Amino acid sequence: MSQIDDLPPLREVLAAHDLDAKKALGQNFLLDLNLTQKIARTAGDLEGAHVIEVGPGPGGLTRAILSLGAEKLTVIERDERCLPALEEIASHYPGRLEIIGGDALKTDFAALAGDRPVRIISNLPYNVGTQLLVNWLLPRAWPPYWQSLTLMFQKEVAQRIVAEAGDNHYGRLGVLAGWRTQARIAFDVPPQAFTPPPKVTSSVVHLTPRAEPLPVAASALERVTQAAFGQRRKMLRQSLKSLGGEALLAKAGIDPTRRAETLSIAEFCELARNL
């Protein structure tokens, strides 16, 4: 393993701070700093950037982001046991690491970003990952306060994020992500790269905002996709019944016998605009 800084190896950090992984907090740590650098590089050029990281844990990805030149890194960690280990990293990079102890689901990311777009990078806690992504995808203002999202998910969730019409994994998440961003799977990460290893393969997803997503209210798009994919095997005239059924489909010019998974993002937007 090549050296990226003069801090102790992560196994020593875990031992020194008694950081046994807690399942309830979705803790699967990455201890290989070459791998954490590969994830951080996927975000683009970090030289001079402001980055926000959710769930830094013992700090493997944190150290990679700082070693690649981020000018400012704000981390939000719920597990208080990790904070002393993070303080050690902060002393190594004076004035660059801001540590917030708290719950990312209750964090105002736009306020943290301030007036300069941030890059968000995270090996996400799996239990809150999808909810955080949806929050980042649906701010009222667009373009958003972030410049890119580089996030680890279970592979199956990653496939849902990048799915297009006709794919098996296409659903609400694919429509919301595809509407406002360009999303791609950068690479897969096998279970044994984590301590402890999760049951399934993970993937790093990279998302960048579209400059001009089709104009439609996010709340309307959410209602349509929820209803349509809530009964994904039914024809749309049935699954969209509570939202106007055949009449709504006629207004949007969509054949009522089609099923949700065949509709393009533009067609979902057309439905949402006619709600």
| Least distance CB 191 / ligand SAM (angstroms) | 12
Q: What is the dihedral of CA 249, 250, 251, 253, to 10 degrees?
A: 90
**Residue 82-121 contact track with ligand SAM, rule CB under 6 A, x = bound:** x--------------------xxx----------------
- If the CB atoms of residues 60 and 174 are measured against ligand SAM, the closer one turns out to be 60
Q: Is 76 in the site for ligand SAM (CB under 6 A)?
A: yes
User: Interacting stretch for ligand SAM, rule CB under 6 A, among 23-31, 140-148, 246-254, 267-275?
Assistant: 23-31
- Is residue 202 involved in binding ligand SAM (CB under 6 A)? no
**Contact between 56 and ligand SAM per CB under 6 A:** yes
User: Counting contacts by CB under 6 A, is residue 29 touching ligand SAM?
Assistant: yes
128-133 LR contacts (CB < 8 Å, sep 24+): 128/26, 128/104, 129/26, 129/153, 129/157, 130/157, 130/173, 131/105, 132/54, 132/104, 132/105, 133/161, 133/173, 133/177
Among 40, 51, 57, 145, binds ligand SAM (CB under 6 A): 57
Taking the least distance from each CB to ligand SAM, the nearer of 124 and 263 is 124
Q: If binding is defined by CB under 6 A, does position 151 make contact with ligand SAM?
A: no
| Nearest distance from C-beta of residue 50 to ligand SAM, angstroms | 18
Residue 75: beta bridge partners?
53, 99
> 212-232 as b/e, with b when 16 or more CB fall inside 10 Å?
ebeebebebbbbbbebbbeee
Strand partners, 148: 119
Name the 3-class secondary structure at 248: helix
Phi and psi, residue 209, nearest 5°: -70, 140
Tell me whether residue 164 is annotated as binding: no
Residues 6 or more apart whose Cβ sits within 8 Å of residue 82: 17, 19, 56, 57, 58, 59
Q: Which of 123, 150, 159, 202 binds ligand SAM (CB under 6 A)?
A: 123
The binder of ligand SAM chosen from 28, 147, 181, 202 (CB under 6 A): 28
Contact, 86 vs 59, CB < 8 A? Answer: yes
CB 72 within 8 A of CB 80: no
Span from 55-63, 87-95, 177-185, 226-234 in contact with ligand SAM (CB under 6 A): 55-63
Closer residue to ligand SAM, CB minimum distance, 132 or 175: 132
Q: Under the rule (CB under 6 A), what is the footprint of ligand SAM?
A: 25-30, 54-57, 60-61, 76-79, 82, 103-105, 123, 125, 128
